[in-house]
Amino acid sequence: MSDTADSKELVLDEVRKYHRETAPDREFVPGVTEIWPSGAVLDEEDRVALVEAALTMRIAAGPSSKKFESAFAKRLKRRKAHLTNSGSSANLLAVTALMSHQREDRRLKPGDEVVTVAAGFPTTVNPILQNGLLPVFVDVDLSTYNTTADRVAAAIGPKTRAIIIAHALGNPFEVAEVAQLAKDNDLVLIEDNCDAVGSTYDGQITGTFGDLTTVSFYPAHHLTMGEGGCVLTSDLGLARIVESLRDWGRDCWCEPGKNNTCFKRFEYQMGNLPAGYDHKYIFSHVGYNLKGTDIQAALGLTQLTKLDGFIEARRRNWRRLREGLDGVPGLLLPEPTPRSEPSWFGFVITVDPEAPFTRAELVAYLEERKIGTRRLFAGNLTRQPAYIDQPHRVVGDLTNSDIITEHTFWVGVYPGLTDEMLDYVTATIKEFVAQRG
């Protein structure tokens, strides 16, 4: 071994030692130890990968990013994956790609309509507005927290050009039926798969039904890079557009640090530029810089090796809560969408509006006992201050989105939770309901 390799191994051995020495005390003290709704699950291998990435000092996107993109594309059964700096950026790229002049007559134009769901995460919807498109909101069902193909069908009108819907907290929407609707009506389908990596519908993994799919690697999600996201597609034309928009809008597709991949670097004539203008500096889109880095990707690669275990733990934890809480009065418990096997993000509970207690009281009781709770994100987005004056259309009513806004919350199922913690969550909820029932 060379001296450099030797000293690298020495550093990494010290990192392993450091990891073991600083491992947090895992003793669970009910009511004292915080039970987070979500969090990153990082081990020794992840710490080593991060330090190893730092040792190379490859601080921008490079070989690890490429490696992650091809491994993740393979895992999600898409031809191309593009790493981004967040799931929100991934959604922005997916929607913006539909506006590209390179899509010719399939290009979306400002004012075109995009069907989406009112109760969800804001950055599923924001790219619609950011591109001058019109969101058309539909309601969701309670208990699955997803919309239905029937509601989507009712929202399709002459100006509808696309659909973007998230699989709610890991629970797939009726994605096969919605994909069929998209096909029949010549619409593009984007699956926001940020909360659902590993979920299946009809035995097929989510993210493989639509034209484009997006993933988030924020710590709450199934895999983490700290911050990060990904756009995936099997449409090579869309993939090129996504890459261009992500990488400043450039026309060239050379990887960072590479030149002349196309062997014609000085032979292009585009726009009003002089012939032979360096292709590296030809911009065919009004783009962004939304790239990830190799340090993020290095963590993504070690996280990816643990994905199956993470998914299984999320399912196991969800089942434990579901069985433990079954039959508790005053609570509407979550249900998987028929024909699906969710890779759960959280455990959603709606307090029956007729119950002798309120969500606020139950949430306060849990939070006082260190059980973290979250909302179903924005609730009915049309009631949020940012959206009240934004142009939109609503098809049907948003009754259930309003119920979610007023009565719904979720607790965690992420792999960092133990059976003891989950049983404490169940016992605490039951204790509260028994006192108030």
Ligand X SMILES: Cc1ncc(COP(=O)(O)O)c(C=O)c1O
Read off the tokens for 341: 């096997």
The CB-nearest residue to ligand X is 87
SS3 35: strand
Q: How far is the CB of 138 from ligand X (least distance, A)?
A: 16
Of residues 36, 145, 209, 218, which one binds ligand X by CB under 6 A? Answer: 218
Neighbours of 166 (CB within 10 A): 30
Q: In the bound complex, what is the minimum distance in angstroms from residue 193's beta carbon to ligand X?
A: 8
The set of residues, in sequence order, having a beta carbon less than 8 Å from that of 241 and lying 6+ positions away, is: 97, 100, 102, 103, 285
Per-residue DSSP letters for 160-176?
A: EEEEEEE-BTTB--SHH
Q: CB of 377: closest distance to ligand X in angstroms?
A: 6
From the list 86-94, 95-103, 293-301, 302-310, the region that binds ligand X by CB under 6 A is: 86-94
Q: Does 405 bind ligand X (CB under 6 A)?
A: no
Q: Is the CB of 112 or the CB of 192 nearer to ligand X?
A: 192
Residues pairing with 113 in the sheet: 134, 160
Does 284 bind ligand X (CB under 6 A)? Our answer is no
Nearest CA-CA partner of 53 in 301, 290, 305: 301
- Binding marks (x or -) toward ligand X, 156..175, rule CB under 6 A? ----------x---------
Work out the angle at residue 272's Cα, subtended by the Cα atoms of residues 270 and 273, and round it to the nearest 5 degrees.
65
Q: Which two tokens stand for residue 294?
A: 């190799």
195 binds ligand X (CB under 6 A): yes
Closest CA to 330 of 407, 426, 423: 407
Q: Is 82 a catalytic residue?
A: no
Considering the rule CB under 6 A, would residue 86 count as an interface residue with ligand X? yes
3-state secondary structure of 230: strand
Strand partners, 116: 137
When binding is defined by CB under 6 A, the residue of 174, 192, 247, 294 that contacts ligand X is 192
DSSP string, 263-284: S-TT----TTPPTT--GGG-B-
As measured in angstroms, the least distance from the Cβ of 415 to ligand X is: 17
Judged by CB under 6 A, the number of residues near ligand X is 15
Task: Name the residue nearer to ligand X (CB basis): 120 or 336.
Answer: 120
Residue length, the chain? 437
**What's the rounded Cα separation, in Å, for the pair 387 and 197?**
28
Q: Taking contact as CB under 6 A, which single stretch among the options 197-205, 214-222, 290-298, 331-339 is the one that binds ligand X?
A: 214-222
Choose one: 136-144, 187-195, 270-278, 281-289; the region binding ligand X (CB under 6 A). Answer: 187-195
Q: Which of 163, 164, 194, 325 touches ligand X (CB under 6 A)?
A: 194
Cβ pair 153, 181 in contact under 8 A? yes
Residue with Cβ nearer ligand X (121 or 365) = 121
- Decide: is 123 part of the binding site for ligand X (CB under 6 A): yes
- Per CB under 6 A, 121 contacts ligand X: yes
- By CB under 6 A, which span of 12-20, 80-88, 101-109, 257-265 interacts with ligand X? 80-88
> Is residue 59 packed enough to be buried (19+ CB in 10 Å), middle (13-18) or exposed (0-12)?
exposed
Shortest Cβ 212–ligand X spacing (Å): 13
Smaller CB separation from ligand X, 69 or 192: 192
| By CB under 6 A, residue 224 contacts ligand X | no
**Using CB under 6 A as the criterion, what x/- string covers residues 91-110 for binding ligand X?**
x-------------------
Site for ligand X contains 191 (CB under 6 A)? no
Each residue 29-68 as x (binds ligand X by CB under 6 A) or -, in order, gives: ----------------------------------------
SS3 state of residue 131: coil
Among the residue ranges 83-91, 260-268, 404-412, 426-434, the one whose residues contact ligand X (CB under 6 A) = 83-91
* DSSP string of 165-221, one letter each residue: EE-BTTB--SHHHHHHHHHHTT-EEEEE-TT-TT-EETTEETTSSSSEEEEE-STTS
Catalytic residue from among 82, 167, 221, 392:
221
Long-range contacts, stretch 322-329, CB < 8 angstroms, 24+ apart: 322/347, 324/422, 324/423, 324/426, 325/349, 325/426, 325/429, 325/430, 328/429, 328/430, 328/433, 329/355, 329/433, 329/437
Nearest distance in Å: CB 427, ligand X: 29
Strand order in the sheet with 212-216: 80-84, 229-233, 212-216, 188-192, 160-166, 113-117, 134-138, 393-394
Please list every residue from 295 through 354 that binds ligand X, using CB under 6 A.
none
- In the sheet where 408-412 sits, what is the strand order? 331-332, 346-351, 408-412
Q: Which is nearer to ligand X, 229 or 330 (CB)?
A: 229
Q: Is the CB of 360 or the CB of 386 nearer to ligand X? A: 386
Q: Given the rule CB under 6 A, which residues bind ligand X?
A: 86-88, 91, 121, 123-124, 166, 192, 194-195, 216, 218, 220, 229
Catalytically annotated residues: 221
